[in-house]
Amino acid sequence: MAPAKWLMHWHPNPGVTLNTQILSEACGCAESLGGTKDGRWKTSIIFYRPMTRDGAGGAQQNLPPDVPRELLGVALHERPGLYFSILRNQRLVLQADAAFSQVMEKLQSFKARVNLNFEGFQYQLGDFCLRIGKCVPNNTETLRGIMMEALKSAPKPAKLTTKGDEHFCGMDNGDTFNTTVAILLSKRSTGSQILEPTEKSSIQCFMSKIISALARLTRRFMLLWVQVEYYPLSSIEKSRAIMVDFFDIWQETLAKKSLPGRFIHVESNFAEYGLSDHYSFQHTAVQYATCLQQLMAAVRA
């Protein structure tokens, strides 16, 4: 079961040219929130166009109406053994073995026209994973866009120390961000006093920033957080509130840099592709198709 994920693309201000300095500043924001660099990542997207020829001279014919005008192939960083194909006009997403692209070449029904790589650095931030990177054509360093992924990883149990009627929620390297917030909210709902540690880790400092944002949520959301202790957040609807709060904090941090633009999250219509509320890697492939569309539009603007 895949954790819920958001993809966001960088939308520059009018007349501003993309450059690697913006990418560096975005990575700096992840580190300022307590994120630790956890290697590199790379996701590839290939644009395929149909190849139809007559039997005589090999000239291209007009395409029949039932033949897709384009096909997107997506090779995700976290699933190297799988390959995802998207027919945007038909609203179809297919999952196949990684050898699917080789089959396409042998069949010669579709030809690869453009190969784009999304690559950069990955950061661990409590139970969140951030991937920040650039979009470049294959075999070149021409910057076409900047984007990021934000996802919730599987949670681990947090520790709770009881002192009489008071409750202290500690977080060390074995504790996790989301379960700690869950316990804090649960104790707040019962009126118990919460004692914070005198010295906070970077993750604790980050946690304290969103406590106020979470406080307005209903008891239903508090129970949702308790459920997170046992399961990853794979429900798109249930994870929406925490992702929105996380994104708000990210935008506030980025705003302090006075960068010429902002990150934008455009929601994909998963229902059009027949995808359920439970997040899967097919959802990620569809998000990449949506994100790429928006990113290219921003570059052309």
Q: Quick one: 187 and 223 in the same domain?
A: yes
Q: Quick one: 136 and 249 in the same domain?
A: yes
Q: Quick one: 181 and 85 in the same domain?
A: no
Sole residue written with tokens 């097919």:
282
DSSP conformation class of 56? S
CA separation, residue 215 to residues 190, 194, 256 (Å) = 13, 14, 24
Q: Quick one: 147 and 166 in the same domain?
A: no
Predicted confidence band of residue 72 (pLDDT cuts 50, 70, 90): very high
What predicted TM-score, i.e. pTM, was given to this entire model?
0.70
- In this predicted structure, the answer to whether residue 295 has a pLDDT above a threshold of 80 is no
Decide which of 196, 230, 264 is a domain's last residue.
Answer: 230
Predicted confidence band of residue 108 (pLDDT cuts 50, 70, 90): confident
Q: Quick one: 117 and 182 in the same domain?
A: no
Domain count, the chain: 2
Q: What CATH number did the domain enclosing 71 receive?
A: 2.40.320
Q: Quick one: 89 and 70 in the same domain?
A: yes
Q: Quick one: 94 and 210 in the same domain?
A: no
Decide which of 212, 230, 248 is a domain's last residue.
Answer: 230
Decide which of 206, 230, 254 is a domain's last residue.
Answer: 230
- The total of other beta-carbon atoms located within 10 Å of residue 61's CB is 8
Predicted confidence band of residue 286 (pLDDT cuts 50, 70, 90): very high
Which residue type occupies 263?
F
C-alpha closest to that of 226 among 181, 263, 166, 276: 181
Q: Quick one: 131 and 199 in the same domain?
A: no
Tell me the longest C-alpha to C-alpha distance in the chain: 89
The answer to whether the CB of 2 falls within 8 A of the CB of 234 is yes
- In this predicted structure, the answer to whether residue 130 has a pLDDT above a threshold of 50 is yes
The answer to whether the CB of 194 falls within 8 A of the CB of 188 is yes
- Burial-class residue 128 by CB neighbours within 10 Å (0-12, 13-18, 19+): buried
For residue 132, the cross-strand partners are 121, 148
Predicted confidence band of residue 287 (pLDDT cuts 50, 70, 90): very high
pLDDT tens, 161-195? 333 333 333 333 334 444 433 433 344 444 444 34
7: tokens are 């993809």
pLDDT tens, 203-254? 444 545 444 444 443 333 322 221 222 234 678 888 888 888 888 988 999 8
pLDDT tens, 1-37? 688 888 988 888 888 887 888 889 999 998 998 889 9
Q: Quick one: 53 and 145 in the same domain?
A: yes
Across the chain, mean pLDDT equals 72
The Cα angle at residue 46 between residues 41 and 50, in degrees rounded to 5: 170
Predicted confidence band of residue 196 (pLDDT cuts 50, 70, 90): very low
Q: Quick one: 36 and 112 in the same domain?
A: yes
Residue 281's pLDDT is what?
A: 92
Residue 152's pLDDT is what?
A: 66
- In this predicted structure, the answer to whether residue 93 has a pLDDT above a threshold of 70 is yes
Residue 68's pLDDT is what?
A: 78
Q: Quick one: 163 and 32 in the same domain?
A: no
Give the separation between CA 199 and CA 216, rounded to whole angstroms: 26
**Residue span of the structural domain in which 207 resides:** 159-230
Predicted confidence band of residue 92 (pLDDT cuts 50, 70, 90): very high
| 3 state SS of 135 | strand
Q: Quick one: 119 and 261 in the same domain?
A: yes
- The total of other beta-carbon atoms located within 10 Å of residue 87's CB is 16
